[in-house]
């Protein structure tokens, strides 16, 4: 029997700003369109490339993606994602696009908590979403599109984690 090479997933943090071409403003309808298209394209890339998505946040023109991939050059993967979105929409990406390698899952969790922290707040013991376009909201609400995301914080099994994230005002670690 031959031995198979098992490729380790490498973790990355991707961040960019997105603008609409022709100086169109980013209204609610366009934000929804961009969010839905991003989810669709990421789903395609996951099924085609063994990519795993751990977090996705879109807030006021900035897009954050935390992902892993075993065998791709992350820049090629990001370029593929960008080209697929541009075919569907009249958008442009601010340069330079940031795609930083992470040392592993612990680093990914810290960044994920940091970007989620700006998305929600706790008000009278309930969650209020500052920006509705984030994977944490999809996971908590049990949305059908939540299956696209890995859940490294295990919020599905520990909803109180979201309250701890929302209550954090400083950059201290939740875990």
- Identify the CATH number of the domain in which residue 93 sits: 3.30.70.1060
In a domain, 162, yes or no: yes
Q: Which residues pair with 93 in a beta bridge?
A: 18
d(CA 68, CA 53): 7
| 34 φ/ψ angles, rounded to the nearest 5 degrees | -65, -45
Kindly provide the residue ranges of all beta strands, DSSP E only, lying in the chain, ordered along the sequence. 10-20, 52-59, 62-69, 91-93, 98-102, 120-123, 126-129
CA–CA distances in Å: residue 5 to residues 71, 103, 146: 11, 21, 31
Structural domains in the chain (count): 1
Site of tokens 């954050």: 64
Residue the block writes with tokens 């989810």? 39
Domain encompassing residue 60: 10-167
Structural domain contains residue 1: no
Enter the pTM of the model. 0.84
DSSP state of 3: P
| Residue 25 counted as domain residue | yes
* Crossing angle of helices 28-49 and 74-88, rounded to 10°: 140
DSSP reduced 3-state for 5? coil
Give domain status of residue 5, yes or no: no
Whether residue 105 contacts residue 152, with contact meaning beta carbons closer than 8 Å, is answered with: yes
Q: Is 175 domain-assigned?
A: no
Domain annotation covers residue 64: yes
3 state DSSP class of 86: helix
Whether residue 69 lies inside any domain: the answer is yes
pLDDT tens across the length of the chain (175 residues): 445 566 788 899 999 888 877 655 667 788 888 899 999 999 998 998 888 999 999 987 789 999 998 866 777 888 888 888 888 888 888 876 788 899 999 999 999 999 998 888 888 888 888 888 999 999 988 898 999 999 899 887 787 888 888 877 433 444 4
Structural domain contains residue 116: yes
């Amino acid at each position: 029997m031959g031995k198979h090479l098992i490729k380790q997933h490498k973790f990355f943090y991707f961040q960019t700003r997105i603008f609409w071409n022709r100086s169109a403003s980013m209204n609610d309808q366009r934000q929804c369109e961009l969010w839905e298209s991003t989810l669709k394209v990421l789903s395609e890339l996951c099924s085609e490339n063994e990519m795993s998505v751990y977090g996705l946040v879109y807030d006021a023109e900035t897009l954050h993606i935390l992902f892993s991939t075993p065998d791709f050059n992350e820049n090629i993967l990001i370029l593929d994602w960008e080209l697929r979105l541009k075919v569907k929409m009249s958008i442009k990406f601010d340069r330079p696009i940031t795609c930083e390698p992470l040392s592993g899952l612990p680093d990914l969790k810290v960044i994920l908590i940091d970007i989620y922290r700006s998305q929600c707040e706790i008000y009278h013991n309930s969650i209020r979403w500052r920006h509705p376009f984030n994977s944490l909201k999809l996971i908590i609400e049990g949305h059908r599109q939540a299956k696209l995301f890995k859940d490294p914080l295990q919020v599905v099994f520990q909803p109180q984690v979201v309250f701890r994230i929302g209550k954090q005002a400083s950059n201290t670690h939740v875990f």
